[in-house]
Amino acid sequence: MTAGSRIRQLDASTVSRIAAGEVVERPASVVKELAENAIDAGATAIDIRITSRLGQITGITITDDGCGMNHDDARMAFTRHATSKIRDLPDLFSCTTLGFRGEALASIAAVSRVTIVTREKGGETVSGTLIVNEGGRMVEDRETGCPDGTSVSVEKIFFNTPARRKFQRSLPAEIALISGIVERLVLTHPGIAFRLTHNGREKIAVPGSGGLMDAIIHLFGLEIAGQLLHVDTGTPGAGIRGAISVPDLSRKNPYQMYLSVNSRPVFSRNLLAAIRKAYGTLLPQDRYPVVFLDLAIPVTEVDINVHPTKREVRFGSEEQILATVTDQLRAVLESHRLIPEKDASRAAGHREPSDGSVPLRYISSGPVPDGVKEPLLRERITTERQLRLTETGPATSGEGKIPDLEIIGQFGALYLICRTPDDDLLLIDQHAAHERILYDQIGKWPSFQDYAQELIEPVILTLSPREAEMLIPAIPTLEEEGFVIEPFGIHTWAVRTVPVALGRQIDPETVREVIAELIAPGFPKGVDPAEQFRRIFACRGALKAGTQMSPDQCEQLILQLRRTKNPFTCPHGRPTMVFFPKKKLDELFGRT
Ligand code: ADP
Ligand code: MG
Residue pLDDT, tens place only, 292-320: 999 998 888 887 766 666 677 778 788 89
CATH code of the domain made up of 221-334: 3.30.230.10
Quote the mean pLDDT of the chain: 80
Band (362; pLDDT cuts 50, 70, 90): very low
Ligand 1 lined by 101 (C-beta under 6 Å): yes
Residue 281 confidence class, pLDDT cut points 50, 70, 90: confident
**pLDDT category of residue 538 using cuts at 50, 70 and 90:** confident
Q: Which of 75-79, 81-85, 504-508 shows the lowest per-residue confidence on average (mean pLDDT)?
A: 504-508
Most confident of 209-223, 445-459, 485-499: 209-223
Strands (E), 334-451: 406-411, 415-419, 425-429
The whole-number pLDDT of residue 67 equals 95
Q: Out of 88-102, 450-464, 504-518, pick the least confident.
A: 504-518
Ordered alpha helix ranges (H), 406-448: 430-444
Query: Which pLDDT does position 542 carry in this prediction?
Result: 85
Q: Of 97-106, 118-127, 359-368, 374-383, which one has max mean pLDDT?
A: 118-127
* 37, 72, 81, 87: residue to mutate for ligand 1 pocket, most atoms within 8 A of CB: 37
- In this prediction, residue 182 carries a pLDDT of 94
CATH for 12-210 (3.10.20.740, 3.20.20.80, 3.30.565.10, 3.20.20.210): 3.30.565.10
For residues 33 and 112, the answer to whether their CB atoms sit within 8 Å is no
Determine the pLDDT at residue 220: 85
Q: Is the pLDDT reported for residue 255 higher than 50?
A: yes
Q: Return the CATH fold of 365-592.
A: formyl-coa transferase, domain 3 (3.30.1540)
Q: Do domains 221-334 and 365-592 have the same CATH topology?
A: no
Specify whether the CB–CB gap between 548 and 379 falls below 8 A.
Answer: yes
Q: Sign (positive/negative) of CA torsion 501, 397, 400, 566?
A: negative
CB atoms within 10 A of CB 30: 27
For the Cβ of 129 lying below 6 angstroms from any atom of ligand 1, the answer is no
pLDDT band for 19, please (50, 70, 90 cuts). Answer: low
Question: Residue 393: which pLDDT band, with cuts at 50, 70 and 90?
Answer: low
Q: How far is the CA of 34 from the centre of ligand 2 (A)?
A: 7
SS3 (DSSP) at 470: helix
Torsions phi, psi for 34 (to 5 deg) = -70, -40
Ligand 2 centroid to residue 128 C-alpha, Å:
21
The protein residue whose alpha carbon is closest to atom 19 in ligand 1 is 37
* Total H helices, total E strands in the chain: 20, 26
Adjacent-strand bridge partners of 454:
497
Q: Give whole-number Cα distances, 125 to 70, 122, 185, 479, in Å.
A: 8, 9, 32, 59
Asked if the model's pLDDT at residue 120 lies above 90, the reply is: yes
Please, what sign has the CA dihedral across residues 237, 288, 525, 520? negative
Please list, residue by residue across 146-158, b when 16 or more beta carbons sit within 10 angstroms of its beta carbon and e when fewer do.
Answer: bebbbbbbbbebb
- Residue ranges of domains in the chain: 12-210, 221-334, 365-592
Q: Whose CA is nearest to atom 13 of ligand 1?
A: 83
Residue 211 CA to residue 135 CA, distance in Å, equals 40
Q: With bands split at pLDDT 50, 70 and 90, how would you rate the model's confidence at 591? A: confident
Side chain identity at residue 463, one-letter code: L
Cβ count near 190 (within 10 Å): 22
